[in-house]
């Protein structure tokens, strides 16, 4: 019989650096000693990542949820109802709220949701709206593509599904733009009572801790285990919408990213991460190699529950520079700015912006004060060139003499999820004349001037002069 090796449990974990989990249980470890196994390398059975005693778990979760259901005052959180018409309306409300809640806090969303429902109380009202009205209500929430997808989705539901969002997650995901597995699960479980799971960021974190799962957070196997855990919670239950809302609520208010309230958590007695924290390990290492978990990586030292879930490895941000031209005309005691409407599809669809050149190359950034003239020429035709007074010649004869000053103002950096964007701000002040210069498109429409646009993107067609006071509300 081999000599038994004993190791004392160190609550702060091993001092050595992170190691890869051994492929098999080391033979020199007494697997009956749970503390030993965790301290050395945490080999464990894959069954550690399966929910146990789900019924009991659900009872404790729902009892807790009843005490907090209305605390955050969410207007879309209503009791489940089995009337067909009311379910259709609930589905619309849940859909709107879930899309608004993507990457936005509950407290921020509530007033937006209220204003939205006042303007578009039903999906039919939304389907009749235009993108300007939708964008106006969305202003401040960001990610405007979400708003335009809601409009497209509403039109489709009215035309193709008789104004009722489908009650099947697969159809919802396939047919309704912007609806993924999570939103489809939320609509179908909360509004229609379908036993389908939801896993958003909050539930992902919560279940990663409950299941003591330490593996790449976006890996297919990780997501499969988490979705399976969420599915077990709702399977066969009469009110799956409440279970899903309770999981989301618990994840966001108790099982927080930092400093979770484990002592008062209703699930603490069945939580794997908490068990490791307290030393009461729920999972036993398997002596059967077939059962050994091959998904988890080595957990960082220590015993804090916040070691779970594993952090996502950071992907390198793309670096881009956009040139933003603040083109201003000064005259008659007024200041007017050029705004350009973005295309009706794609990023920030239909919104107005200052004329910009996106993702300029490094060569172009070196030629900062030349580039704005390309934009000016695109807008007005070749009436401007560096440091010169030029006449705006039209078929009507010489109209105005304009002077143009171009100044580099500075850079503004914004970090998106995958892009580090630098906005290089250029001020272009046009003076002269009794009115601002005409856009080349206006001249075309009058049939009095040849097209001056450069290439195919003649932004003059989408541009307008806007008084300074109206710039922030342009539509
Ligand atoms: S016990 Fe702690 S870690 Fe576990 S689910 Fe509750 S709050 Fe999260
Ligand atoms: Zn594991």
262 lines ligand 1 (CB under 6 A): yes
Which ligand is in closest contact with the Cα of 250? 1
Per DSSP, the residues of 347-373 read: TTTT-EE--EE-S--HHHHTTTTTHHH
pLDDT of residue 96: 98
Question: Which atom number of ligand 1 is nearest to the Cα of residue 262?
Answer: 2
Residue 212 CB less than 6 A away from ligand 1: no
Query: What tens-digit pLDDT sequence spans the chain (475 residues)?
Result: 334 333 333 323 333 333 333 333 233 333 333 333 343 346 788 888 999 899 999 999 999 999 999 999 999 999 999 999 999 999 999 999 999 999 899 999 999 999 999 999 999 999 999 998 999 999 999 888 899 999 999 999 999 999 999 999 999 999 999 999 999 999 999 999 999 999 999 999 999 999 999 999 999 999 999 999 999 999 999 999 999 999 999 999 999 999 999 999 999 999 999 998 887 664 455 556 677 888 898 888 888 999 999 998 777 778 888 888 899 998 888 899 999 888 777 667 778 889 888 887 776 666 666 777 778 777 887 666 554 444 444 433 344 577 778 888 888 888 777 788 888 888 888 887 788 888 876 544 433 333 222 333 566 678 889 998 888 776 6
* Domains of the chain with bracketed CATH: 48-307 (1.10.340.30), 318-473 (3.90.79.10)
Ligand 1 mean position, distance from CA 272 (Å): 9
Ligand lying closest to the C-alpha of residue 260: 1
The neighbouring-strand residues paired with 323 are 357, 424
SS3 339: strand
| Closest residue CA from atom 2 of ligand 1 | 262
List the shell of residues around ion ligand 2, using CB closer than 5 Å.
Answer: 293, 296
204 lines ligand 1 (CB under 6 A): no
Is residue 393 annotated as part of the catalytic site, yes or no? no
* Choice among 98, 249, 276, 328 that is catalytic: 98
d(CA 298, CA 136): 49
3 state DSSP class of 87? helix
Please tell me the distance from the alpha carbon of residue 390 to that of residue 394, in angstroms, as a whole number. 12
In what helix (H) or strand (E) does residue 145 lie, and over which residues does it extend?
helix 145-160
CA of 245 to the centre of ligand 1 (A): 17
The structure tokens 């009872």 sit at 59
List beta partners, residue 431.
Answer: 330, 403
């Amino acid at each position: 019989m081999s000599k038994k090796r004993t190791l004392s449990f160190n609550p702060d974990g091993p001092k050595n650096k992170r190691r890869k989990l051994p492929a098999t249980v080391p033979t020199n470890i007494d697997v009956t000693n749970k503390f030993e196994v965790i301290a050395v390398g945490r080999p464990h059975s894959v069954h550690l990542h399966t929910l146990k005693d789900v019924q009991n778990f659900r009872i404790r979760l729902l009892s807790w949820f009843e005490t907090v259901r209305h605390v955050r005052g969410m207007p879309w959180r209503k009791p489940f109802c089995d009337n067909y018409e009311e379910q259709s309306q609930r589905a619309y409300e849940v859909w709107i709220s879930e899309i608004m809640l993507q990457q936005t806090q509950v407290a921020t969303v509530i007033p937006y949701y209220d204003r939205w429902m006042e303007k578009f109380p039903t999906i039919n009202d939304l389907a009749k709206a235009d993108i300007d009205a939708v964008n106006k209500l969305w202003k401040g929430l960001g990610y405007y593509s979400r708003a335009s997808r809601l409009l497209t989705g509403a039109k489709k539901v009215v035309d193709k599904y008789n104004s009722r969002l489908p009650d099947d997650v697969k159809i919802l995901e396939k047919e309704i733009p912007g609806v993924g597995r999570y939103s489809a699960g939320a609509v179908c479980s909360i509004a229609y009572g379908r036993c389908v799971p939801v896993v958003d960021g909050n539930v992902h974190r919560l279940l990663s801790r409950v299941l003591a799962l330490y593996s790449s957070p976006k890996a297919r196997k990780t997501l499969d285990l988490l979705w399976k855990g969420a599915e077990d919670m709702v399977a066969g239950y009469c009110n799956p919408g409440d279970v899903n809302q309770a999981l989301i609520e618990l994840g966001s208010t108790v099982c927080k990213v930092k400093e979770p309230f484990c002592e008062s958590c209703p699930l603490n007695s069945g939580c794997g991460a908490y068990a490791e924290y307290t030393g009461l390990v729920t999972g036993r290492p398997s002596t059967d190699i077939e059962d050994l978990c091959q998904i988890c990586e080595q957990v960082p030292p220590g015993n804090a529950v916040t070691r779970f879930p594993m952090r996502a490895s950071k992907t390198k941000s793309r670096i881009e520079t956009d040139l933003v031209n603040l083109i201003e005309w000064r005259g008659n005691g007024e200041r007017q700015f050029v705004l350009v409407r973005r295309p009706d599809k794609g990023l920030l669809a239909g919104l107005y912006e200052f004329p910009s050149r996106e993702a300029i190359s490094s060569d172009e950034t070196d030629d900062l004060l030349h580039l704005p003239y390309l934009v000016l020429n695109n807008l007005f035709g070749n009436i401007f060139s560096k440091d010169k007074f030029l006449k705006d010649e039209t078929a009507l004869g010489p109209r105005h003499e304009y002077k143009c000053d171009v100044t580099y103002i500075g850079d503004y950096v914004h970090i998106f999820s995958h892009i580090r964007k630098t906005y290089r701000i250029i001020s272009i002040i046009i003076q002269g004349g009794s009115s601002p210069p005409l856009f080349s498109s206006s001249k075309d429409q009058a049939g009095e001037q040849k097209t001056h646009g450069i290439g195919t993107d003649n932004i003059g067609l989408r541009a307008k002069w806007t008084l300074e006071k109206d710039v922030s509300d342009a539509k």
